[in-house]
Amino acid sequence: MEVTGIVQRQAWLNKVIPPVEFLGNGLWSVPVVFPRNPMRYTLAYVIVDGGDCLVIDPGFDSPQGRLDLKVGLRAAGVGIRDVSGILATHFHTDHLGMAGWLRRASGAWLALGKEEKRYISAFEDPAEESEADRNRMRTWGVPEDRVGEAAMSVEDLLHMRRLADPDLRVGNGDRVPIPGFELAVIETPGHTPGHICLREESREIFISGDHVLPRISPNVSLEIRGDADPLRSCLESLDRIEADTHFEVLPAHEYRFRGLQDRVRQLKSLALQRSEEVVRELSAQRNPTVWTVAAKLSWSRGFESLGNLQLRLALSETAAHLQYLRTSGHTHFIEGLPAAPLPA
Ligand SMILES: [Zn+2]
């Protein structure tokens, strides 16, 4: 793997926000702050071609974030009102969050992956939905005094519901309507059910969203109303993209790099190592639950230090591994995993 975003990497190491960068051919990289989050920023990509302007992953909506995006657009020689299209690689707030405001301010269309059902918009009553999630946490063995931290609160749910709905849905083989660019959509479920990546053949660039990042393994979680076997989907999605190995990868966080195949192999092997760790725990425990397995796995800052969202992510990642093992033929019974068809 070769880091091509040298300045971005240096900024990452120095714990500062990298600068706006011109990547050639009407393409700009625009860091947008992601407040109170260790990822620190989302890399939005701005494409300008004639009278059209596309913003990919506008980022988390905050006053500073709006300013960051305006600064990036100005560097690209355009203003907010010139934005004609917005695309989010997935629905998470650090990608889709600012899309609602940007659409209102510009009148642009908004595109999202075909399968990106915001599972949150499927419910009627947020209180009922939150209670269902709390019950799910109980079946995962979460101690009663930690259930409130691990489950989705009514506020979390309402926040998700306020995210913008797309005007346009894109899937495999579709072209993003921006003239002068051949941005082809590849569906890459895993991190979310409808995550998409974009490849530009003639410019040899690959916009990877959160599916492939250079430094961390993207979180893959078993989520309420989500994919029934998200880790399997993620591994299949990694297989789908590794061929473009000489393309420059433009991720949504951290820094740009080249060497997609190497990175894909690393990510797959890390996921499988993690599954082996889960198998060892399953064999060592008498009545394993999602909680007791998660508590014994290695976490960078230790399981005891995890709280709130970080705790939820750790539990739902563990559950994704347990579900993957179950659908791979492991026979341990774990409560609270959804029915999923066993692969042939
Ligand atoms: Zn992200």
pLDDT at 333: 79
Question: In 3D, which of 56, 92, 90 has the Cα closest to residue 72?
Answer: 56
Ligand 1 centroid distance, CA of 95 (Å): 6
Whole-number Å distance between alpha carbons of 59 and 43? 8
Domains and CATH numbers, the chain: 2-117+164-269 (3.60.15.10), 121-156+285-327 (no CATH)
Phi, psi dihedrals of residue 205, rounded to the nearest 5° = -125, 150
pLDDT at 118: 64
pLDDT at 121: 63
Task: List, run by run, the mean pLDDT of 10-residue segments along the chain (344 residues).
Answer: 96 95 95 94 96 96 98 97 97 95 97 81 83 95 96 89 90 92 95 96 95 95 90 96 91 97 96 95 93 95 92 96 92 80 58
What residues contact 276, with CB distance under 8 A and at least 6 apart?
none
Ligand 1 centroid distance, CA of 60 (Å): 9
pLDDT at 339: 77
Ligand 1 centroid distance, CA of 288 (Å): 31
Per DSSP bridges, beta strands 85-87 and 109-113 are parallel
Ligand 1 centroid distance, CA of 39 (Å): 8
Ligand 1 centroid distance, CA of 221 (Å): 14
Ligand 1 centroid distance, CA of 156 (Å): 17
pLDDT at 120: 55
Ligand 1 centroid distance, CA of 298 (Å): 23
Ligand 1 centroid distance, CA of 214 (Å): 13
pLDDT at 329: 87
Ligand 1 centroid distance, CA of 96 (Å): 9
pLDDT at 340: 65
